[in-house]
Structures are given as C-alpha cells and as structure tokens.
Amino acid sequence: MKGGGDAVSAARAVIQTGEYDYARNMQVEDEILVKLENSSNSKGRVDILWGGWIEHIKLNSADPWTEVDGERSGAKTHHPLLGDPAVRQALALLVDRASVQAHIYGRTATATGNFINAPGRFVSKNTKWEFNIEKANQMLEGAGWKRGPDGIRAKDGKRLKLVFQTSINAPRQKTQAIVKQACQKTGIEMELKSVTASVYFSSDVANPDTVSKFYADLEMYTNTVTQPDPEALMRQFVSWQIASKDNKWAGRNIVRWRNDEYDKVFRAAEQELDPVKRAALFVTMNDMVVEDRVVIPIVNRGQVAAMSHNLKATLSPWDNDFWNLRDWYREA
C-alpha cells in the first residue's frame, strides 16, 4: 500500500510501474489517470467509489487580519469584505464548476451546488448554481463597489482584495487559477496561497497555516464524509463548535459562522426519529449554508483509488450474507 509523497507519484507507482498494489485518495487530474490506465504496459486501474465527499470553498465570517485578545479570525470580529452579502453572492457566481469538472476532475467528480450530496434523501432540490461574470459585475456595482483606476473595486475606503488558500496539489492550484481569472474580470484582486498538505491539515496549535486557524479570506479543501448520516458533517456549522484559541482551534466551525436558526434546526434533527422529517431538516441546513454563502460547493468528488490488476477479491459465506442483506435493505 502506497502512502506519503504526492498523489501523482502514488498513482504511477501502482498503475504504471506496479511497485505497489494500492493507493487511496488520488487527487490527480483525470487526464493523467486516463493516460496511465491506457498505456500499453499498464499494471493497474482506477477505482471510483461515490459518496458525499465535497470539494468546496469556505468563506471566513471573521476578520483574519485583525487580532483581538491575541487571536486572529476570532469570533469577536466580523469580516470587513465578506460581511457584505453582495460580495459573497458575487464570489459564488465566479466559480466555474463546469470547467473544474470537465478540465480537472473529469469522471472522478460531479459539479454541484449542494454541500450534502449523499445519500439521496438528504440531497436538496432547492439549490442551483451558475457561472455568470456579468451578473457578478452587476451585483458588485449595485452594492456600491466601484472600480478604481487599476480596475480593482473598492467601497468606503476598503479595497476588494482577498487571499485564497488551499493545500498543494495540481487540481487545487488549477481550481484556484480558474477562480482567480474570473475574479480579475470582475474587479476582485485575488492572492493565491498554497500550503503543504501536512502543514495545512495539521492540528499543531503553533502552526499559523492550518485550515482551522483560517488566517485567510477563503480556503478550499474536501470534507471526506465517512458515514451515510450527515449529522457529523453538518455539525461544523453550529455555534458551539466555533474554532478558537480557547479550544486550541479544535472546534469544527472553522468559518466562525453563527446562526441561531441553524442551531435550532440542528438540535431538532438530533432528536427527530421520523426519517422523512429528519431528512427534511438536513435539507434545510444545507440550503441555509449554501444560500448564505457560508460555503461554495464546487464538485462532489468520488473516492478515487489506484489498484493493481493483481488484486483479487474472494467472497466467504459471510460476505455473501452481507451482500444479500444489503440488497434487501436497498429494496426495502
């Protein structure tokens, strides 16, 4: 099993050279994976398992540039630019999901406007997404964000400049570039920041570049959903989970968003036993974080693994009982 290093090297080590039998989470452009699979001496293949993994952009509700009580991005502050709903709405219009899917992820992801993407009963039919530079321009202009001599918009002395961070890998840097290009056409100055994954996802409290400290305006990564029920996924937006210095930035609410109505709906879902009513509550939560642009969903990623052609699976009698039970459950 291949671990560590970068995803492209791991994919090559399984599919091309056959040094390893298996590597998971292949965050690699699908174009590269297809070439590896179709090469004459291919020794492996790509396996895609679909679930609720969501590659998305988080918008900081707090001010990452002002320190209060020894803490940046603290819940006592408000973001000076993203506090304007027009700016958040414009940013959502500037994410070209179709291009990200077509030119980066290919068969390994599906463009989406939802944060919850599986199972089907929890997926909202109320949301929609669009890529519209002209509409974003009109929205910012109407909200009083005027272009300066250099083309960058400003309002009340505040320049519309944002720092957008993510981890280092080719698909994410290409996604950043797509978003930045659209923002430039709209008068938003976008600074891109890339952080080594081991640092970015670290829990080290002394590390300033972690996702939980969120010392940037925007950040992007995938929430890996490991269970079919979305309660754990949606707990990251409740007010009592706000990441802070007091909890060593271990709170799951990284965006520092606070919404009393969301908290109320989440508490109701925790206690609701009727599966239909409970699913409706999670649809409501999805719609709240999407429509308020707390997050901007990009693609529902498949769980991509590289697997050797030599890997074989054999079923025991217990396995057969499991699959029969699964089929019965699906029909029920």
pLDDT in tens, 239-288: 999 999 999 999 999 999 999 999 999 999 999 999 999 999 999 999 99
* pLDDT at residue 331 is higher than 60: no
In order of 33, 222, 265, 327, 329, the CA distances from 96 in angstroms are 22, 17, 31, 38, 38
What sign does the dihedral 110-113-119-123 (CA atoms) show?
Answer: negative
pTM of the model: 0.92
Fold of 54-301: Dipeptide-binding Protein; domain 3 (3.10.105)
List beta partners, residue 163. Answer: 191
Q: Indicate the average pLDDT of the chain.
A: 94
C-alpha 215/C-alpha 60 separation (Å) is: 9
Q: Which of 1-5, 25-29, 186-190 is predicted most confidently?
A: 186-190
Q: Which two tokens mark 134?
A: 């002209």
| CA geometry: angle 212, 217, 223, nearest 5 deg | 45
What is the reported pLDDT for 116?
98
Domain-wise residue ranges, the chain: 7-49+306-331, 54-301
